[in-house]
Amino acid sequence: MASRYDVELVQVTKRYGTAVAVDGISLRVPAASYCCLLGPSGCGKTSTLRMIAGHEAISDGDILIQDLNVSNLPSVRRGTSMMFQSYALFPHISCLDNVAFSLRVRGVPKKERNAKAQEYLDLVHMSDFAKRLPSQLSGGQQQRVALARSLITRPKVLLLDEPLSALDPFLRVRMREELKRLQRELGISFIHVTHSQEEAMALADLMVVMEDGHIRQAATPRAIFEEPASAFIARFIGGHNVLPWDSGMIAVRADRCSLGSTGDNPRLAGHVTAVEYQGPVVRVAVATDAGLEAVAVVSDRDFYRSPVGPGDVATVSWLQAEAHQLAH
Amino acid sequence: MTLLQTIGFRGQAEQREKAPFRLSPRMVSWLQVGPLAVVLIALFALPTVLFLVVSFFDYDRVGIYPAFMLDNYQDLLTTPSTLRVYISSLKFGLIVWSITLFLGFNIAYFLVFHVRRPMVRTVLFLLCAIPFWTSGIIRTIAWIPFLGRNGAFNQALMALHLTDKPLEFLLFSDFSVIITYVHLFTLLMIGPIANSWAKIDPALLEAARDSGASRWQTMYLVVIPLAKTGIALGSILVFTQVMGDYFVVRQMSGGQSASIVSMLSTEIQAMQYPPASANAMVLVLFVAIMVACMMRVVDVRKELVK
């Protein structure tokens, strides 16, 4: 029977000397899911990925891949494959040889491994570049080759370390779609480390927000966006106003705020500090005299009905029901 | 407004008048290449041409006479001692090359891949390099009191009762020549190899492991191919040094071995310049052929441009 979870982390800890990089985290990644580890730099997300890959020893705890405890197994026997942030293509051999590398070290005959490698280059639309050296390719093309090299090992779990961070924004969105398509078609789990909440939201079935070596929240992107567990998460995933209120800290989505006030809705009055036109919406930042800041993202139609500029008096208000109470 | 415009306009005009002195890109290139070219032509190319010309001259005990004759080459190539000296030098060259390659490869590997703290690495590199601040002659001679019959090493062996009488082969032998060469030239191998590895992204080694490569597979599929340029450069440096050596063989072999250059120096001392020139030309040609062979294996120029 297929296992319910592709990856399970049980109280996994990583210590470097006395510094704790990952502090007893537990996580279950359901079968065939796209999981994003999200967090600011130094939060332990890359250490976690490298421990799953077997490139970093676990200080404490266990890692299971499809019900097999792999904590003490070498990388190659874990059924994982890692795609490196720098791509780490071997510079002295052709793309085809790079992709065929893992077959070569397993002793697969040349003809057979080249045919297989060609097949995987096809999968990432790079078959025309088989004979080139990595240095003769653009960053995006190198990434595709690296992806083919990782996939040819037929991993149970593909591990991606900030795979899109080196690409330009346009390419990033295209590659993002492609990663998601491949994950769906191959039916395996991807674990993708990123510091971009936009990327994580676009891709993840399971979004894991990390801070300071801990998992702060793990859920679907929608659940996290609708109900961030803490002020840190609300701020980190963006799009929220985090405000101290009568009942404690609250988070209010900026796109659910409006300018001006109606009735006795909660509000924040102050002066406009910035106006950004973003096409379909306009982003208006308002600061109170007490130093609180709130952002209203309003539709361009609403904004231009009664436009405001920096320095103008303005009020940001929202419906009581839109305020989300934060734990701390 | 008009004043500003006037000033602005005049400013531009003045600039335009001062601008014209500009070197063409062609000229700039020549200037950049020039100094080194002058040095190389004056100190290398011209003397070599001079040797070539003189090598065809006639000579006797009193002087040398312009001529064009092949006798010098004929004498050189038909004397049995020539072949003997070349074989001896070649033998030293190959032995020293393989030892320095083995040592240099391992030391460079240790420095680049095992030492993690940059500070420690710098200190270790300095430890390798600092001995080179003293002259090679001193470092050569320093072996004599160490290896000699009553030298430090023999005394230590006897004090430890490992031997009863001093080991004779330590000094003034092939052994002492080789050990001195290795001491002098290992750094020439470490440097280029370490340099070619220093540019490697450490993730490459992890990627190899991730793909299932064993230690040895990583070594011969990734690490060694990436050190190819360094190995070739180091080999050329070590080999040419040994072939061109004069001092070490004379000092450390105790007169039992001769080197090509010591043969040459004997001729110069006897003021037999034409045969010495012929000898030099043959040596240059021989080393050039050996280097060309190494370059065929690795195109160093192409790799360096990368």
pLDDT higher than threshold 70 for residue B1: no
pLDDT higher than threshold 60 for residue B9: no
Q: What pLDDT shows up at residue B7? A: 46
Q: Greater confidence, B266 or B2?
A: B266
Question: From the list A74, A88, A101, which residue is nearest B203 (CB)?
Answer: A88
Type of residue at A12:
V
Q: What pLDDT shows up at residue B150? A: 80
Asked whether the beta carbons of B250 and B259 are under 8 A apart, the reply is yes
Is residue A102 situated within a structural domain?
yes
Q: Quick one: which of A10, A72, A28, A81 has its CA closest to A205?
A: A28
A167-190: pLDDT as tens digits = 888 889 999 999 999 999 999 999
pLDDT higher than threshold 50 for residue B6: no
Q: What pLDDT shows up at residue A326? A: 87
Contact A101 B201 (CB under 8 A): no
Contact list in B for residue A81 (CB cut-off 8 A) is 210-211
**B contact test, residue of A98, A105, A157 with most B CBs within 10 A:** A105
pLDDT higher than threshold 50 for residue B3: no
Q: Residue A265 class from Cβ within 10 Å (0-12 exposed, 13-18 middle, 19+ buried)?
A: middle
What residue of B is the nearest CA neighbor of A104? B213
Is residue A232 situated within a structural domain?
no
Q: What pLDDT shows up at residue A159? A: 95
Residue B208 Cα, gap to closest chain A Cα (Å): 8
State the pLDDT confidence band at A219, using cuts at 50, 70 and 90. very high
The reply to whether A148 and A201 lie within a common domain is yes
For chain B, what is the mean pLDDT?
84
State the pLDDT confidence band at A276, using cuts at 50, 70 and 90. very high
Where a domain ends, among A166, A195, A226? Answer: A226
pLDDT higher than threshold 50 for residue B4: no
Is residue A261 situated within a structural domain?
yes
Q: What pLDDT shows up at residue B133? A: 83
State the pLDDT confidence band at B145, using cuts at 50, 70 and 90. confident
Question: From the list B204, B210, B214, which residue is nearest A90 (CB)?
Answer: B204
**ipTM over cut 0.85:** no
CATH number at residue A218: 3.40.50.300
Per the structure, the complete domain to which residue A299 belongs is given by 241-325
**Dist. CA A276–CA A297, nearest whole Å:** 9
Give the number of other CB atoms < 10 A from CB of residue A18. Answer: 5
Q: What pLDDT shows up at residue A203? A: 94
| % of residues, chain A, pLDDT over 70 | 99
The reply to whether A61 and A177 lie within a common domain is yes
**Dist. CA A298–CA A316, nearest whole Å:** 11
Residue B5 Cα, gap to closest chain A Cα (Å): 36
Q: What pLDDT shows up at residue A193? A: 95
Where a domain ends, among A226, A255, A281? Answer: A226
Average pLDDT of span A193-209: 93
Q: What pLDDT shows up at residue A262? A: 74
**B contact test, residue of A92, A108, A147, A157 with most B CBs within 10 A:** A92
The reply to whether A198 and A255 lie within a common domain is no
**Domains along the sequence of chain B with CATH:** 70-305 (1.10.3720.10)
**Dist. CA A296–CA A285, nearest whole Å:** 6
Total tally of structural domains belonging to chain A = 2
Q: What pLDDT shows up at residue B302? A: 65
What's the number of CA atoms in the CB half-sphere (13 Å) around residue A172? 15
pLDDT higher than threshold 70 for residue B2: no
Q: What pLDDT shows up at residue B305? A: 59
pLDDT higher than threshold 80 for residue A147: yes
**Dist. CA A66–CA A155, nearest whole Å:** 12
pLDDT higher than threshold 90 for residue B252: no
Average pLDDT of span B241-256: 82
The reply to whether A220 and A250 lie within a common domain is no
Q: What pLDDT shows up at residue A321? A: 87
CATH number at residue A263: 2.40.50.100
The reply to whether A251 and A222 lie within a common domain is no
List, in order, residues 6 or more apart from B301 with CB less than 8 Å away.
B295
Q: What pLDDT shows up at residue A26? A: 95
Is residue A231 situated within a structural domain?
no
